């Protein structure tokens, strides 16, 4: 019997394959697999057996796993930064549902090469993230590992039922928006990898252990890769402006990939414009230096943890004053597909070329 390589399905294809026939049996499960978070309703029954509708608060849940050698390289990732990032990427999923993170559990797989002090440093980063985002650490697990360090964090959050934003709500003619800038975290990773190779080659050539990396003027790129922030500020800005997105998710695997998820689940197409993509100067300069196409990096780089969302055209005037928010295109009919309009008016089909956990 022939066996199917997991890489032929990819991460999301595998998840769909494994879960497509699963039907929730608990009435509290409001949204299961298929979005940034699961959504659960624990409002319970009234005193006379009637559903208690007095509480509209819903519980959000997400989980994320980071594996040494796959998601991070401890040759250049400080343990404190790693802990901070591991927590924040989970918070980002909660914000992508228009919710507020409240608790996490932390589970660690630890090999013998790590000391107590090492794990304390990792945990200090997790604790710092929780302090800054007002999140409680409420439990977890630890076990031994023979493959290095594994970090698994589950995050709970809350949102009013009417505030929750799913991926499947984009409508024809909606505006497509992103926060921050794109491709910067990816360029930070390229910088780290390049300097690691330079250091290794320098040591091999002359045995000089004093060879140091060159990061001057590019600290922002490193920060975006090593210590990202969840966009709590943008969720607050949208609420203050009276805007509820029609669909939303965070950008962890690349703009193209995430946008295609929204379009697929919403049954729509999209059109975005190259000259509207927010790109940082440092990222563009480094991409040119390394002979990389910065637009390709912006579309497919991943790990930006910015918010991608669609909004009604009626919200246009409310969107314009919000700083660090960019309108990059609009939603089209599904049969038009997902397309990028180049600077010269050329139309290119978007492809999901971002991070693939089983193909990269």
Q: How much is the pLDDT for 3?
A: 80
Query: Are 222 and 117 found together in one domain?
Result: no
Q: What is the pLDDT of residue 5?
A: 76
Same domain, 301 and 324: yes
Instruction: Determine the average pLDDT of the residues in 115-132.
Output: 98
The reported pLDDT for the residue numbered 12 is 59
Asked if residue 16 and residue 132 are part of one domain, the reply reads yes
The whole-number pLDDT of residue 131 equals: 98
Predicted local distance difference test score (pLDDT) of residue 249: 96
Task: Compute the average pLDDT of residues 122-147.
Answer: 96
Instruction: Determine the structural domain holding residue 320 and report its residue range.
Output: 175-190+218-349
Same domain, 142 and 63: yes
Residues 34 and 157 grouped into a single domain: yes
Handedness of CA 248, 251, 256, 257 (dihedral sign): negative
Beta-ladder partners of 58: 159
Which of the four pLDDT bands, split at 50, 70 and 90, describes residue 217?
A: confident
pLDDT at position 18: 62
Instruction: Give the model's confidence band at 19: pLDDT under 50 very low, under 70 low, under 90 confident, else very high.
Output: low
Residue 213 domain-assigned?
no
Q: Closest Cα partner for 89 from 180, 155, 11, 177? A: 155
Same domain, 227 and 136: no
pLDDT of 252: 93
User: How big is the chain, counted in residues?
Assistant: 360
To 10 degrees, what angle do helices 281-289 and 219-226 make?
100
Whether 123 and 185 map to the same domain: the answer is no
- Is 197 among the domain residues? no
> 26: pLDDT confidence band, cut at 50, 70 and 90?
confident
Domain contains 198: no
Of 235, 225, 245, whose CA–CA distance to 157 is shortest?
235
Number of domains the chain contains: 2
**Cα(first)–Cα(last) distance of the chain, in Å?**
26
Mean pLDDT of all residues in 182-199: 92
Residues 130 and 266 in one domain: no
Mean pLDDT value of segment 286-306: 96
Looking at the fold, whether 135 and 183 belong to one and the same domain comes out as no
């026939």: which residue's tokens?
21
Q: 228 with 328, same domain? A: yes
Q: Which residues of 28-46 are buried (b: 16+ CB within 10 A; e: fewer)?
A: eebbeebbbbbbbbebeee
CB 66 within 8 A of CB 148: no
pLDDT of 360 higher than 80: no
pLDDT at position 357 is 47
Task: Say yes or no to pLDDT of 204 above 60.
Answer: no
Residue 256's alpha-carbon distances to 141, 195, 348, in angstroms, are 35, 28, 12
Task: Round to whole Å and give the CA distance between 267 and 358.
Answer: 26
Structural domain contains residue 263: yes
Average pLDDT, rounded, for the chain: 89
Q: Mean pLDDT throughout 326-354?
A: 93
Neighbouring CB atoms inside 10 A of 98's CB total 24
What average pLDDT does range 10-29 have in this prediction?
A: 67
Is 212 within a domain? no
332 assigned to some structural domain: yes
Task: Confirm if 114 and 150 have CB atoms less than 8 A apart.
Answer: no
Lowest mean pLDDT among 49-53, 91-95, 232-236, 239-243: 49-53
| CATH assignment of the domain containing 22 | 3.30.1330.10
DSSP assignment letter at 68 = B
pLDDT for the residue 15: 60
* Least confident residue range of 50-54, 74-78, 309-313, 331-335: 50-54
Beta strands across the sheet bearing 150-160: 29-31, 38-40, 57-67, 150-160, 100-110, 136-144
CATH of the domain at 261: 3.90.650.10
At residue 212 the predicted structure's pLDDT band, cuts being 50, 70 and 90, is low
312 close to 246: Cβ distance less than 8 angstroms: yes
- Position 199 confidence tier, pLDDT thresholds 50, 70, 90: confident
Q: How many CB atoms lie within 10 A of CB 346?
A: 10
Q: Stretch 196-217: mean pLDDT, rounded?
A: 70
pLDDT number for residue 30: 76
Residues 226 and 333 in one domain: yes
Q: Check pLDDT > 80 for residue 193.
A: yes
Q: Is residue 200 part of a domain?
A: no
Residue 354: both structure tokens together: 């971002």
pLDDT bin (cut points 50, 70, 90) of residue 23 is confident
Helix residue ranges per DSSP H, the chain: 10-19, 79-95, 116-133, 184-206, 219-226, 232-240, 255-266, 281-289, 294-300, 316-319
Does one domain contain both 229 and 159? no
What is the rounded distance in angstroms from the CA atom of residue 335 to the CA atom of residue 301? Answer: 27
What pLDDT shows up at residue 221?
97
What is the arithmetic mean of pLDDT over 255-273?
Answer: 96
Q: Is the model's pLDDT at 290 over the cut of 90? A: yes
What mean pLDDT do residues 301-329 have? 97
Sheet strands (E) in 12-112? 29-31, 38-40, 57-67, 100-110
**pLDDT, tens digit, for every residue of 152-166?**
999 999 999 999 999
Q: Determine, yes or no, domain membership for 51.
A: no
């Amino acid at each position: 019997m022939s066996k199917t390589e997991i890489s032929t399905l990819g991460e999301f294809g595998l998840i769909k394959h494994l879960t497509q026939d699963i039907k929730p049996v608990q009435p509290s499960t409001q949204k299961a697999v298929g979005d940034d978070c699961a959504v659960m309703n624990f409002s319970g029954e009234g005193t006379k057996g009637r559903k208690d509708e007095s509480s509209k608060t819903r519980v959000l849940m997400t989980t994320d796993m980071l594996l040494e050698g796959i998601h991070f390289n401890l040759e250049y990732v400080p343990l404190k930064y790693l802990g901070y990032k591991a927590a924040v990427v989970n918070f980002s999923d909660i914000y992508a549902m228009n919710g507020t993170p409240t608790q996490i559990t932390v589970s660690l797989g630890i090999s013998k090469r790590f000391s107590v002090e090492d794990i304390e440093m990792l945990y200090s980063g997790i604790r710092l993230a929780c302090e800054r985002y007002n999140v409680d650490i409420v439990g977890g697990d630890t076990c031994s590992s023979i493959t290095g360090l594994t970090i698994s964090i589950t995050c709970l959050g809350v949102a009013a039922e009417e505030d929750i934003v799913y991926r499947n709500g984009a409508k024809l003619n909606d505006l497509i928006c992103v926060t921050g800038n794109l491709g910067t975290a990816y360029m930070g990773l390229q910088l780290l990898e390049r300097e690691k190779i330079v250091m290794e080659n320098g040591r091999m050539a002359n045995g000089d252990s004093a060879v140091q990396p060159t990061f001057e003027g590019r600290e922002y790129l490193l920060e975006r890769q090593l210590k990202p922030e969840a966009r709590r500020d943008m969720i607050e800005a949208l609420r203050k402006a009276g805007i509820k997105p029609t669909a939303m998710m965070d950008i962890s695997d690349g703009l193209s990939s995430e946008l295609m998820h929204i379009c697929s689940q919403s049954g729509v197409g999209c059109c975005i414009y190259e000259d509207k993509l927010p790109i940082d100067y440092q990222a563009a300069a480094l991409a040119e230096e390394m002979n990389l196409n910065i637009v390709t990096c912006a579309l497919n780089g991943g790990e930006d943890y910015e918010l991608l969302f669609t909004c009604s055209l009626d919200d246009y005037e409310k969107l314009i004053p919000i700083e660090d928010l960019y309108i990059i295109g609009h939603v089209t009919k599904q049969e038009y597909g997902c397309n990028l309009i180049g600077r010269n008016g050329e139309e290119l089909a978007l492809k999901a070329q971002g991070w693939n956990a089983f193909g990269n």
